[in-house]
């Protein structure tokens, strides 16, 4: 019996290199047809949904570059769809253009409040839709390229809403780092990060660079820098935070080579330089304080010293020569 190959996730099969992906959501087939043909002829990859539930599922699966969303649909209307898209970290960054036949101010305000960046009125004019899309896609494209570049150079980024502490958006690298260092996932912002953000928002607004936040995990540390405010400032606004992981593993290797230590002895000396006591070093390395003490005695013998202070001083002097940026 012949088996079909497993279906690939939709977002992996879309031609993102050569065209932007547009999700059109409307319960009227004629509206879908008109827009589909116009966008397809203009080189876009077009996805369709005829209900709010289908729109949410399609958006989560395909992660389109932009959504054209009918405001008034039976069941879940467009306003609720937009709110849910903006509430989910994986889709919160996608620009939404509302399509509505309601021109009263209250409905247009509701569309923007729900997370829309723009709106077009019905009956739909494809050329107008294309023009509006270009404006918002260009901005989204530039932001996406910037985020991808940050990830490529080892800088991860997240966006956190100060008012309720919600993690609104993250790069793939940021997701992995937060999970590894804090064991948390979006939309939850690690408590320490949120406390740091709220403490320094006022400084950032005044364009005074706040102190950075750092957390250590073994010889690695993750540093957070408050980069800039994005969106409106109501309730503290949304903040772009840049993260960078740095490792002192090369420092430990240098210690081992310089003083002819074993890898474990070098690790023990590294943590002595960092000011840790034997119990703390044991917790970090998964050893008992007694085992750490024995390693340290061998380190003293190889360095020709008798105290922790002398050993740390010798190690720091050598590290400064080889790694001037090391933070002891």
For residues 178 and 235, membership in a common domain is answered with yes
The domain boundary, picked from 88, 118, 147, lies at 147
User: What is the pLDDT at residue 12?
Assistant: 41
Q: How many domains does the chain have?
A: 3
User: What is the pLDDT at residue 13?
Assistant: 45
Averaged over successive runs of 10 residues, the pLDDT of the chain (328 residues) comes to 42 55 91 89 92 94 92 92 88 89 78 87 89 86 68 78 85 90 90 93 82 89 86 67 88 90 93 92 91 95 94 90 72
- Note the maximum CA span of the chain: 86
The domain boundary, picked from 212, 247, 282, lies at 247
Specify the pairing of strand 45-49 against strand 118-121: unpaired
- Chain centre to alpha carbon of residue 104: 37
Tens-place pLDDT, residues 47-69: 999 999 999 999 999 989 999 99
Evaluate whether 67 touches 85 at the Cβ level (below 8 Å).
Answer: yes
Using a 10 angstrom Cβ sphere, with 0-12 exposed, 13-18 middle and 19 or more buried, the burial of residue 118 is middle
Q: Cα–Cα distance between 245 and 271 in angstroms, integer?
A: 19
Specify the pairing of strand 118-121 against strand 96-100: parallel
Q: Measured between alpha carbons, how far is residue 301 from residues 55, 132, 217, 313 in Å? A: 69, 73, 29, 15
- Chain centre to alpha carbon of residue 157: 4
User: What is the pLDDT at residue 88?
Assistant: 84
Q: Is residue 2 part of a domain?
A: no
> 116: domain range?
10-147
User: What is the pLDDT at residue 238?
Assistant: 83
User: What is the pLDDT at residue 5?
Assistant: 40
User: What is the pLDDT at residue 92?
Assistant: 83
The number of beta carbons lying within 10 Å of the beta carbon of residue 31 is 19
Q: Which two tokens stand for residue 302?
A: 């190889």
pTM over 0.75: no
For residues 16 and 126, membership in a common domain is answered with yes
């Amino acid at each position: 019996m012949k088996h079909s190959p497993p279906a690939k996730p939709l977002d992996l099969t879309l031609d993102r290199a050569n065209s932007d992906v547009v999700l059109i959501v409307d319960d009227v087939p004629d509206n879908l047809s008109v827009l589909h043909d116009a966008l397809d002829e203009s080189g876009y990859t077009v996805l369709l949904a005829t209900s709010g539930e289908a729109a949410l599922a399609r958006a989560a699966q395909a992660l389109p570059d932009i959504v054209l969303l009918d405001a008034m649909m039976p069941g879940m209307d467009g306003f609720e769809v937009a709110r849910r898209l903006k509430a989910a970290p994986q889709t919160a960054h996608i620009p939404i253009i509302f399509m509505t036949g309601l021109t009263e101010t209250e409905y247009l305000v509701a569309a923007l409040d729900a997370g829309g960046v723009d709106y077009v009125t019905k009956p739909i004019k494809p050329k107008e839709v294309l023009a509006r899309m270009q404006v918002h896609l260009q901005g989204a494209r530039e932001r996406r390229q910037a985020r991808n570049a940050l990830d490529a150079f080892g800088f991860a980024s997240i966006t956190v809403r100060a008012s309720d502490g919600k993690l609104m958006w993250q790069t793939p690298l940021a997701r992995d780092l937060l999970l590894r260092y804090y064991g948390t996932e979006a939309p939850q912002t690690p408590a320490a990060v949120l406390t740091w953000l709220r403490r320094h928002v006022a400084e950032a607004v005044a364009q005074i660079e706040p102190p950075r936040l750092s957390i250590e995990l073994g010889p690695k540390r993750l540093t957070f820098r408050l980069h800039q405010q994005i969106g409106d400032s109501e309730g503290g606004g949304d903040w772009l935070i840049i993260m960078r992981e740095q490792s002192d593993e090369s420092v430990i290797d240098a210690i081992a080579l310089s003083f002819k230590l074993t890898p474990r002895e070098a690790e023990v000396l590294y943590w002595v330089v960092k000011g840790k006591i034997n119990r703390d070093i044991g917790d970090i390395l998964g050893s008992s304080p007694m085992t750490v003490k024995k390693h340290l005695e061998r380190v003293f013998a190889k360095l020709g010293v008798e105290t922790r202070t002398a050993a740390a001083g010798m190690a720091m002097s050598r590290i400064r020569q080889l790694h001037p940026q090391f933070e002891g």
